Amino acid sequence: MIEYSIYFVLTFLLSTLFAIAGLGSAIALVPLLNIFGLSFDIARATGLFVNFISTVTISFLNFKKNLFEKSFVLPLILSSMVMAYIGAKISLMVDKEIVKVIFGYTLLLLASMILFIKIKPKEESLGINKKLLIVVGSIGGFFSGFLGIGGGSIIAPILIFFGYDPKKIAIGISFVIPFSSIVAFGSYASIIEIDFMLLTIISIAAFLGGILGNYLLHFKVSAPTIKKLIAVVLYILAIKLILLS
């Protein structure tokens, strides 16, 4: 029970923090669960499930607030789901250590671009760019399945680079992550043994963290703050991938 309590606290804190940016917390939760005793495969599957629970809560709340933008969100959802499945399958055949290092340095570059390159929003021209959204969703979905992380950490910086408003991205990604995460989770769950008690406890923590994070997103945090938070998240992920590979 002590271990489960630790997992609950970790999940609640991380789900709250990452929900503020509309992201899943698996990118930080997976290595921490691994450090606290879970195998890497179980930690990845658990992290993906947490992504699903925490962001499905956010997406439901955002949907009730009429924040669902069909033309913006659907291309991201469909492309990320397909590529999350493909990424999970390919992960069983490719040397993940090499990919992690390359991915880590890529995230360092993306995070630096978010923090230091000033780009004015161009929402009117990019809002109907379905091809761009499909490509970005595919990239995010692939890495979600391949590495067992939330695709939002990939989708967000690319869209920010092209000029989308960080707050709009955070809200949009909240609808995308549940689908890519549950598809990737299903792929991992089919080959490993799942601790359902652990999933239950962590799901409750993720649900509560998702509600608190969503509240902070809409009422306490500005778009520039979200932008910085996303960049910090990417730096953390990059360091994790590079140092632990």
* pLDDT of res. 134: 94
Confidence bin at 8 (pLDDT 50/70/90): very high
pTM: 0.76
Q: Is 135 exposed, middle or buried (0-12, 13-18, 19+ CB in 10 A)?
A: middle
What number of CA atoms fall less than 13 Å from residue 45's CA on the CB side?
A: 17
Taking only the tens place, the pLDDT of each residue in 201-230 is 988 998 898 888 878 877 766 667 777 877
Cβ contacts of 82 within 8 Å, gap of 6 or more: 138, 141
Query: Is the predicted pLDDT of residue 32 greater than 80, yes or no?
Result: no
What number of CA atoms fall less than 13 Å from residue 47's CA on the CB side?
A: 28
> What is the chain's mean pLDDT, rounded?
81
**Number of independent structural domains in the chain:** 1
Cβ contacts of 176 within 8 Å, gap of 6 or more: 73, 76, 77, 80, 137, 140, 151, 152, 155
CA distance 44 to 54: 15
Q: Among candidates 223, 23, 237, which has minimal Cα distance to 110?
A: 237
Sign of CA dihedral 98, 102, 103, 107: positive
- Look up the domain containing 146 and give its range: 2-243
35, two tokens: 């450090």
Which one-letter DSSP state was computed for residue 23? -
* pLDDT of res. 119: 56
